[in-house]
Amino acid sequence: MSVIQWSVPVCGLYGPETTSDCPFLAFDILSGSWNASWAKHASERPTKICSPEQLDSFFRTFPILETPMKQLGVNTMKEGDSMDVSRVLLQLKHHCHDCANWVITFVPEEWRPSPHLLFWFAVVTFFIMMGLGVTALFWWLRGKSAQNQERLEAENKMQELEEKIRIMESEKGCVELQAETLQQRLEAQLTLQQTLDSENNDRESKVKEVIRSQTQEMQELKQELEQTECLFKTEMMFHAQQMQEILMDVRVVEENLEVERGESEILRKNLIDVSVRLEELKSPLFVTSVKKGEVLLKNRKTQIKDKLNLEMKNRRALGEVQNMREQWQRMEQALQQKAAEVESERRDKEMEVKTLLRSHKLKVHKIEEKHLQTEISYKAEIESLKKQSQEIWDTSECELTACKKEINALRKQLDDVSAEPQLAPFGSTPGRSHQQTTHNETYVVATQTDFSGSSDESPQVEREKQVYLKRLWAEQQKTLDLEGKMEALKQDRDALDDQNCDLEQHTSALQGRVRNMTDLCQQKEQTLQYFLNKTLSTFGMRMHRMAVQEPRLSPVTETTGSWSEEDL
């Protein structure tokens, strides 16, 4: 396999102009590696020599004079034969020499070096001045950027403070809105309380009217009962008098009947004696005896007639007694019906009163529950508002302290900036070290003025001072505004505390009213119960008395009835 190589002379000569001492760099196309070789004799020269332009298409990314040898693929082996290290070093030396010559070609003729390739003073001073200028520009730009950063930080802090103030204003607006909503709720609760009070007053008036009407009805019923009792008593007295008269008549009739019985017995005995005598005698005195018998018969007839009359009178008296019994039973039934009606009406009214009292108790209980719920909700809202106000107070105090610290820092910076122009002429020395500039950033401006002059930046410092003073004045005004806002928040918190105290007093007054209402309802219930029990007891006593008086009249009628049946 043949090796195809392109050789490039390092010395830059091309063709027959190449000397024997000119080194070559051979590029193996197949392996893609470089091989260093030295053509000492004409026979050792490469067969194919090309210029660097011909290999430009191969090495656009690998310039020969800038890339290291390893990156270019320099092979120290010459087709299997090892090369000496000294030759490699010599090759590198020649390569560096060629690079230096190539650089010097760009230098003007006045500044070209001597044939011995020594550095000269002009080039050294030029590069030193260039380095110093670059460093000065670097530090000046760094100081400028530091000032700009400080300004940006101050502006950012101002913007943050403005945003915090806006947030505080928005929070104050929210607190004011909450206070307004709470005020509206309080007004609504007061209106509801007023409506509830009016409803309670109306219900109390209705209950009082119902109680008055019930008391009037009870009084009317009492009067009716008293009137009926009086009428019943008068009727009973009248009937008792009639019964006494009838009893007196009956006694008289009984006495007459006893007398007649005695007479009839006497007459029977006389008749027996007469019959005995008639049987014994049977004498001419028959006519006289007949006459006497006729007289006796007449007397007997008169006695029978009198007896029948007395029996008729007794029957009439018994009929009157039965009529009186029937009337008394009717009166008793009517009184019982009236008593049942009165009792049913009383029970109905008692049930109505109980239902009304229960409804009022339920309403009072509901009102108490509503008041308790409103109290709990108001207390929770008050506690949340207190917590929010305390948090806002703490945050505002922290922000005030932070603002004061920032103002003090800005004042210190202003003092430092105002002191910098005074320190500038003392610190503007050409031999100032780099370590001092890095230790204190305030002297950076002084080092920059060494190159650009300190007299040009004094008005700029005054302007910055005025700007900082304006910002300080604005910060002071903002702090005063924040203090005023804090005082307003204090006043709002005091007003909320006063409103909470008023609400607590109002709730306590409402609780007292509700307790008074419950006490009044209980008293009314007790009075109604006592009155109903009293009326029931009096009515029961009267009915018991009437029931006790009934059997006193019944024996008389029974005796009269038994006597009349025996007589009949």
Please give the tally of structural domains in the chain. Answer: 1
Average of per-residue pLDDT values in the chain:
67
Lowest mean pLDDT among 38-42, 109-113, 334-338, 371-375: 38-42
Count Cβ atoms within 10 A of the Cβ of residue 24 and give its class: 0-12 exposed, 13-18 middle, 19 or more buried: buried
- In eight-state DSSP terms, residue 49 is B
Indicate whether 107 belongs to any domain. yes
For the cut 50, the answer to whether the pLDDT of residue 146 exceeds it is yes
For the cut 70, the answer to whether the pLDDT of residue 407 exceeds it is yes
Encoded tokens for 431:
């031999």
Lowest mean pLDDT among 266-280, 289-303, 384-398, 448-462: 448-462
Indicate whether 90 belongs to any domain. yes
Q: Provide the pLDDT for residue 558.
A: 39
**What b/e readout covers 125-162, taking b as 16+ CB neighbours within 10 angstroms?**
eeeeeeeeeeeeeebbeebeeebeeeeeebeebbeebe
Distance CA 34, CA 95 (A): 14
Quote the domain boundaries for residue 48: 5-118
Indicate whether 392 belongs to any domain. no
Q: Provide the pLDDT for residue 193.
A: 79
Mean pLDDT across 204-225? 79
For the cut 50, the answer to whether the pLDDT of residue 266 exceeds it is yes
Model pLDDT for residues 320-360, shown as the tens digit of each residue: 778 877 877 787 788 788 778 888 887 887 788 778 778 77
Q: Provide the pLDDT for residue 465.
A: 65
Model pLDDT for residues 131-140, shown as the tens digit of each residue: 888 888 888 8
Phi, psi of 44 (to 5 degrees): -90, 0
Q: Which residues contact 200 (CB under 8 A, 6 or more apart)?
A: 367, 513, 517
Distance CA 3, CA 210 (A): 135
**Nearest partner of 26 among 63, 71, 76, 68, judged by Cα:** 76
Mean pLDDT across 473-486? 73
Give the Cβ contact number of residue 61 at 10 Å.
6
Strands 77-78 and 5-9: unpaired
Q: Provide the pLDDT for residue 539.
A: 62
Model pLDDT for residues 353-392, shown as the tens digit of each residue: 778 778 777 877 787 787 778 778 777 877 777 777 677 7
Count Cβ atoms within 10 A of the Cβ of residue 351 and give its class: 0-12 exposed, 13-18 middle, 19 or more buried: exposed
Q: Provide the pLDDT for residue 215.
A: 77
Handedness of CA 215, 217, 223, 225 (dihedral sign): negative
Q: What's the pLDDT band for 563 if we cut at 50, 70, 90?
A: very low
For the cut 80, the answer to whether the pLDDT of residue 414 exceeds it is no
Model pLDDT for residues 8-33, shown as the tens digit of each residue: 555 554 455 455 455 555 655 445 45
Lowest mean pLDDT among 28-37, 370-379, 474-483, 520-529: 28-37
